[in-house]
Amino acid sequence: MNERRCAVLAWIPPGRRRLGHWIILGLALPLLAAAALARPALPPGLKAAAAALSAAASERRIPIYSVETTEPRLAISFDAAWGADRTEAILDILDRYGVKTTFFLVTFWVERYPDMAREIVARGHEIGMHSTSHPDMTALSRAQMRRELEENHRVIREITGFDARLFRPPFGAYNNTLIEVVEDELGFKTIQWSVDSLDWKDVDAAFIERRVLDRIGPGDIVLFHNNAEATPQALPRILERLQADGYEIVPISRLIYWDNYLINHEGRQVPLGR
């Protein structure tokens, strides 16, 4: 049974389960909505049911946070917006362990560090877009969103030669309009993360190692930052452990499905007919 329908049933008192079945079929939604407005004393179970059905009716677009897979495969990624002092050290570590990853780059970072951006590509890593000016994309108009993406894509391609197809919104902030622009209008994929290393906080390498390794699993996408102070110290231990556990670490474009999939309520990409 659909998860949202199960949730609706769970909120309906036992004596009203027959009505609950009609609710699940969607036939009672207009009556419940009207009752919720007209009768403040409506039983809590029915109020919750109406709210759950209203939420189900309004479709929420969700980015890719992780991927459903039976393979021991995952991806790690780096956001780059502020500084580049530790980027080469990270690239050297990735080379040492034979790992290829995804770097999400802001336009002004690429323009300020063009040689480093080209070096990322030369070392075999892929580049994703991270906007032009690192704004809260949800505060922008549709036209502004599109300009942020198109300029970011253009600069990355002109400076590095890489045709970026993945986009990670700054601060992880998104709404339906953004995903429509990214995916429906421009044909890119919107990528979040399922494991946040929290390396951007004032934490040490041991904290980052524990946080990542305690949470990681097949299909996960890990978030790091290219200029976080403790990341170069934490990264070797993390890569050693993952490889010892049999994981293949791949760029995000090799982890996700590009067609025939759905994204569940947790942002997990699930293949269809495979």
**pLDDT single digits (tens) 17-42:** 333 443 343 444 444 344 444 444 44
Of 133, 187, 167, the closest CA to residue 64 belongs to: 167
DSSP the chain: --HHHHHHHHHS-GGGHHHHHHHHTTSSHHHHHHHHHH-TT--HHHHHHHHHHHHHHS-----B-EE--SSSEEEEEEEESS--TTHHHHHHHHHHTT---EEEE-HHHHHH-HHHHHHHHHTT-EEEE--SS---GGGS-HHHHHHHHHHHHHHHHHHH-----EE--GGG---HHHHIIIIIIT--EEB--SEE--TTSS--HHHHHHHHHHH--TT-EEEEETT-TTHHHHHHHHHHHHHHTTPEE--HHHHS-SSSEEE-TTSEEEES--
End-to-end CA distance of the chain: 21
Question: What pLDDT is recorded for position 20?
Answer: 40
Handedness of CA 258, 263, 266, 268 (dihedral sign): negative
Q: Minimum mean pLDDT among 16-20, 38-42, 127-131, 237-241: which range? A: 16-20
Answer whether 67's CB lies under 8 Å from 257's CB: yes
Percent of all residues in the chain with a pLDDT value above 70, rounded to a whole number: 78
Structure tokens at 26: 């969607």
Question: What pLDDT is recorded for position 244?
Answer: 98
Residue predicted with more confidence, 57 or 197: 197
48 and 75 in a common domain: no
Question: What pLDDT is recorded for position 44?
Answer: 54
The enclosing domain of 241 has a CATH number of 3.20.20.370
189 and 98 in a common domain: yes
Crossing angle between the packed helical segments 114-122 and 142-160, to the nearest 10 degrees: 70
227 and 202 in a common domain: yes
Question: For every residue of 193-212, which 3-state class applies, written as one string?
Answer: CCEECCCCCCCCHHHHHHHH
261 pLDDT exceeds 90? yes
Taking the C-alpha atoms of residue 115 and residue 166, their distance in angstroms, rounded to an integer, is 21
Structural domain range at position 49? 3-57
CA 149 to chain centre: 17
Residue predicted with more confidence, 114 or 33: 114
114's CB contacts (< 8 A; 6+ apart) are 159
Neighbour tally for 199: CB within 10 Å: 24
70 and 33 in a common domain: no
pLDDT average, residue stretch 191-215? 97
232 and 123 in a common domain: yes
17 and 111 in a common domain: no
pLDDT average, residue stretch 225-238? 98
167 and 123 in a common domain: yes
54 pLDDT exceeds 70? no
Mean pLDDT of the chain: 86
195 and 92 in a common domain: yes
174 and 123 in a common domain: yes
173 and 71 in a common domain: yes
3 pLDDT exceeds 60? no
Question: What pLDDT is recorded for position 42?
Answer: 45
pLDDT (tens digit per residue) in 139-194: 999 999 999 999 999 999 999 999 999 999 999 999 999 999 999 999 999 999 99
7 and 133 in a common domain: no
Of 85, 163, 160, 87, the closest CA to residue 121 belongs to: 160
The dihedrals phi and psi of 137, each to the nearest 5 degrees, come to: -65, -25
79 and 20 in a common domain: no
- Number of domains forming the structure of the chain: 2
* pTM (predicted TM-score): 0.79
